[in-house]
Every structure is written in C-alpha cells, then in structure tokens.
C-alpha cells in the first residue's frame, strides 16, 4: 500500500482506525436492541467469518469502553452516562474588549450541538499539517459523518489511490480533485480510484 506522507492520519490506517469506524455501527445496534451482540451477531454485523476474530474484536470494544464483560464473561452494554448540559451564559467580543455580563441564556449539550447523526459519526485524531489553513492542526480531533454526499468545498476523509487523506473535495469538468489547505502541498487528482469515507463536520481542540 502506498502512503501519502503529508496527508496520512495514523488513526485511520491503524487497527484503532478500524475500531473507530466500527463503533458507530455497534452503538446503533445497542440503541436498537438494548443489549450487546453475541459473537455470531458480531460476525454478521462486521462481515467476519470466524468467532475467534469476533472475540478479539469484542475485546477491543471492551478496552475502548463501548462494551463491558460481566464476572461470567458475558458481553453487556456499558453503564449509561448522563449527558451534562453546559450553561450558555452570553457572548464575548473577540475583537475589541467589552464588559462581559453573565446571564443564563440557555443550556447546551455538546453532543447534540456537534453531532447530527450519532449512529454514523466517528472521530479521528489529526496528524500532518496539510489542512492548517482550514484551521485543522496536528493533534486536533475531527468528527466525521459517514454516508453524507460530499459537496464542493466540503472537507472529506478519502481513500485515493490506496492512501488515506483529509482534503477539500471538489468536482469539476476534469473529475474529482482534492485540495490541501497548505500551500506547501499540491492538488491531488485520483489516478486509480477514490472512495470517500465521510465528511468532516466538526473540529475539536483542547487549549489546556
């Protein structure tokens, strides 16, 4: 497999990336059924034939906190976490300073604010600087919505010529091109194939 070094996101290409892509599918199953899948059901969900492979996969889900094992080894959903809405206290000027008055305007769940379709959304950790001019920096986390048709100007996660990348998506008379947000890098035009895994919907960055 050939790599595009400056656009490579290790979380997408590593075994952890496969886990990240599978978690929304598993979460959707948990919501619909209210229980954890059996090993046979894991095989069906993820297209694997061996229950041994499904057992290893289940262990990865347990390590990630998506499933847990009881004392008898049975797979069960994790305890539900309460969503803690945050208080929206007002606005603040980012240009010229102005007095900030604290008043409760609303409450907000970050999950609901950032994620439109939880069942088809996954996260990736960014490595590389090819999208810095779009405000996406190394170490950031991006939320990716699978199944959404990309439009011109969308930032997508795509497999192009057997290498994974994150770029602006454009379609013109010559076909599809992927544009970086860094003048150091060149436009990519797929030569052998292109598969869009999802559209980036949000960027998350911790400052402290």
Tell whether 119 is covered by a domain: yes
> What letter would DSSP give residue 188?
B
Candidate list 20, 167, 183, 202, residue with the active-site label: 167
Per residue in 33-69, pLDDT tens? 888 999 999 999 999 999 999 999 999 999 888 898 8
Tell whether 152 is covered by a domain: yes
Candidate list 20, 130, 183, 191, residue with the active-site label: 130
Q: Which domain holds residue 193?
A: 109-208
Known catalytic membership, residue 130:
yes
Known catalytic membership, residue 184:
no
Strands 106-108 and 86-88: antiparallel
Token digits of residue 189: 């035009």
Domain count, the chain: 1
Residue 171 sits in a domain of what CATH number?
2.10.109.10
Euclidean distance between CA atoms 98 and 190, whole angstroms: 50
Per residue in 86-139, pLDDT tens? 666 666 666 565 555 555 556 777 777 888 887 788 888 898 899 999 999 999
């Amino acid at each position: 497999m050939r790599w595009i070094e400056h656009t490579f996101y290790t979380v997408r290409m590593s075994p952890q990336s496969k886990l990240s892509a599978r978690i929304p599918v598993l979460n959707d199953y948990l919501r619909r059924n209210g229980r954890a899948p059996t090993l046979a059901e894991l095989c069906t969900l993820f297209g694997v034939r061996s229950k041994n492979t499904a057992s290893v996969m289940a262990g990865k889900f347990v390590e990630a906190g998506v499933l847990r094992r009881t004392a008898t080894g049975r797979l069960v959903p994790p305890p539900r976490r309460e969503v803690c809405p945050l208080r929206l206290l007002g606005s603040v000027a980012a240009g010229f300073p102005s007095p900030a008055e604290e008043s409760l305007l609303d409450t907000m769940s970050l999950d609901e604010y950032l994620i439109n379709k939880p069942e088809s959304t996954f996260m990736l950790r960014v490595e590389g600087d090819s999208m810095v001019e779009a405000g996406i920096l190394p170490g950031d986390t991006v939320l990716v919505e699978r199944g959404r048709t990309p439009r011109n100007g969308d930032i997508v996660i795509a497999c192009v010529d057997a290498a994974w990348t994150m770029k602006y998506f454009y379609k013109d008379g010559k076909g599809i091109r992927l544009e970086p947000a860094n003048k150091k890098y060149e436009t990519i035009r797929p030569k052998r194939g292109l598969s869009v895994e999802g559209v980036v919907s949000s960027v998350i960055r911790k400052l402290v």
